[in-house]
Amino acid sequence: MIENALDKLKILADAAKYDVSCASSGADKKNNGKIGNSIAAGICHAWSTDGRCISLLKILLTNYCVYDCSYCINRVSNDVQRASFTPEEVADLTIQFYRRNYIEGLFLSSAIEKNPNHTMEKIYRTLYLLREEHGFSGYIHVKTIPGADPMLIHKTGQLADRMSVNIELPSTKSLKLLAPQKSVKKLMEPMEQINNGIIQYKEEKRHFIHLPKFVPAGQSTQMIIGATKDTDLSIIHTTEKLYNSFNLKRVYFSAYVPVNTGSNLPSLATEPPLKREHRLYQADWLLRFYHFNAEELLDPSQPNFDMEFDPKMTWAFRNMETFPVEINKAPYEMLLRVPGIGMTSARRIIRQRQIANISYDHLNKIGIVMKRAKFFITCNGKFHGQLDMNPEGIKEKLAPKPKFEQLSIFS
């Protein structure tokens, strides 16, 4: 048993690091206790050497696990160093780190040491200590343990800002293959419960003044990318469904880093598919903020994203008849679909048009990436791309690009 806090912290941070779903955003909250608030935009506190932002103290309560999910470093059949924190230790560490402005709050997850209830109970206890004993109003995100008593999940939800259930793999088939002890049904149950809890809270809030909040920053989930043969299409389909049926706030994608060997797993030499992960995040952005549907972005004849061009550009190539759009006339929704125009520049265009017509020289200053946009727009009726608008010609103009080579995952 490891007693030293530093060693424990190292083990339990290491065990948690593959979970990417821990951004601190989604809730503006004033300090109504002794310490802590949060701002909706989220604050990144540090960036680790992999270039990822650290905003929360992300640890497992324990990495002792009775399950044997094949992609997971902590599965019972692995011979790794094990440790557990007590709820008191986690609460204390969170407060000490928070006071020094190292972190924005806590992201607490756990392996399943004995059974789901035992683990969920400890998670609840940690939150109770933080909120009630330390008067902490900062951000807390916890992992829900599927299979735990719904009452316990509910009580925890009244103390957390965000909860997540990681579905890890985007299809039933893949779950069967890599995590046979989990089932889609068992994962969906707590998701549904949390969603219902959130909806119910919103309803009841209208009638009661003092009602304990319930998961005010919503729920999220994560999927591992590249551990199975699932296509991008099936991943974004699942993503869209999760947004629609459970009102998820975020779906996170995590490029699979091989930690185990196994006949159903990619080889240990496989590079994490980072570019693919990036494309999926771009697509997710298009779903959430740009009013795209999953079917518009990919279809069975083309089930994976182009590695050379981003999803919006690929969409534009397949829908050339929609273009060009006129900067001085197009509605906001249409401007958003132009490659090289983002939400800020679309908004600026709309505002600027209220003052005066926009001229070609202005487009750069508005923040439009002209290199990409010029093939898809006119400005005061004039087209500034090439005369013959066809995808192949444009692709060539936009090259040369450093080619990203994706290593074959299933070699």
Partner 1 sequence: MIYLYDGSFDGFLTVIYEHYYSEKATAIYRKKDYQIGLIDESKTIEADSVKSRKVHEALINKFSTETLNNIQYTFLSCDRNKDTYLLHYIEYGFRIGKRLDFDHTHEVVLPVHQLGKRVSFEVHRFLGLLRFQEVGSVLYSAIEPDNDIITLMVSHFADRLKTERFIIHDKKRKQAVIYADGHWYLSDFHIKEELQISEKEKYLNALWKGYFKQIAIKERENLRLQQQFVPKKYRRNIIEFT
Q: How is 347-373 classified by DSSP, letter by letter?
A: HHHHHHHHHSPPPTTHHHHHT--HHHH
Closest CB to ligand SF4 among residues 178, 335: 178
Tell me: does residue 112 bind ligand SF4 (CB under 6 A).
Answer: yes
For partner 1, the binding residue among 26, 116, 170, 272 (CB under 8 A) is 272
For ligand SF4, the binding residue among 11, 23, 65, 152 (CB under 6 A) is 65
The answer to whether the Cα torsion of 170, 305, 52, 247 is positive or negative is negative
Tell me: does residue 260 bind partner 1 (CB under 8 A).
Answer: no
Q: Which amino acid is at 383?
A: F
Taking only Cα atoms into account, the Rg of the chain, rounded to an integer number of angstroms, comes to: 24
Closest CB to partner 1 among residues 30, 185: 30
Q: How many CB atoms lie within 10 A of CB 325?
A: 17
Q: How is 235-284 classified by DSSP, letter by letter?
A: HHHHHHHHHHHH--SEEEEEE----S--TTS--TTPPP-HHHHHHHHHHH
Q: Which two tokens stand for residue 65?
A: 């696990």
Q: How far is the CB of 12 from partner 1 (least distance, A)?
A: 9
Q: Which two tokens stand for residue 182?
A: 């989990």
Tell me: does residue 93 bind ligand SF4 (CB under 6 A).
Answer: no
Closest CB to ligand SF4 among residues 119, 378: 119
For ligand SF4, the binding residue among 8, 29, 58, 75 (CB under 6 A) is 75
Q: How far is the CB of 242 from ligand SF4 (least distance, A)?
A: 19
What three-state secondary structure class fits 221?
Answer: strand
Q: How far is the CB of 51 from partner 1 (least distance, A)?
A: 3
Query: CB-side exposure of 400: number of CA atoms within 13 Å?
Result: 2
Site stretch for ligand SF4 (CB under 6 A), options 30-38, 66-74, 114-122, 377-385: 66-74
Q: Please tell me what DSSP assigns to residue 50.
A: T
Q: Give the phi and the psi of residue 117 in degrees, each rounded to 5.
A: -65, -45
Closest CB to partner 1 among residues 281, 317: 281
Segment 23 to 52, residues that bind partner 1, using CB under 8 A: 30-31, 34-37, 39, 41, 43-52
Q: Which two tokens stand for residue 393?
A: 């010609």
Tell me: does residue 74 bind ligand SF4 (CB under 6 A).
Answer: yes
> 205 is in the binding site of which of partner 1, ligand SF4, none (Cβ under 5 to 8 A by kind)?
none
Please work out the total of residues on this chain that contact partner 1, with binding judged by CB under 8 A: 56
Closest CB to ligand SF4 among residues 90, 111: 111
Q: How far is the CB of 328 from ligand SF4 (least distance, A)?
A: 53
Residue 56's Cα: distance from chain center in Å?
Answer: 14
Tell me: does residue 332 bind partner 1 (CB under 8 A).
Answer: no
Tell me: does residue 175 bind ligand SF4 (CB under 6 A).
Answer: no
**Residue 398 region by backbone torsions, left for phi larger than 0, else alpha for psi between -120 and 50, else beta:** alpha
**CB of 95 within 8 A of CB of 35?**
yes
Site stretch for partner 1 (CB under 8 A), options 12-20, 75-83, 195-203, 317-325: 12-20
For partner 1, the binding residue among 348, 373, 379, 394 (CB under 8 A) is 348
Tell me: does residue 66 bind partner 1 (CB under 8 A).
Answer: no
**CB of 8 within 8 A of CB of 85?**
yes
Q: Applying CB under 6 A, which residues contact ligand SF4?
A: 65, 67-69, 72, 74-75, 111-112
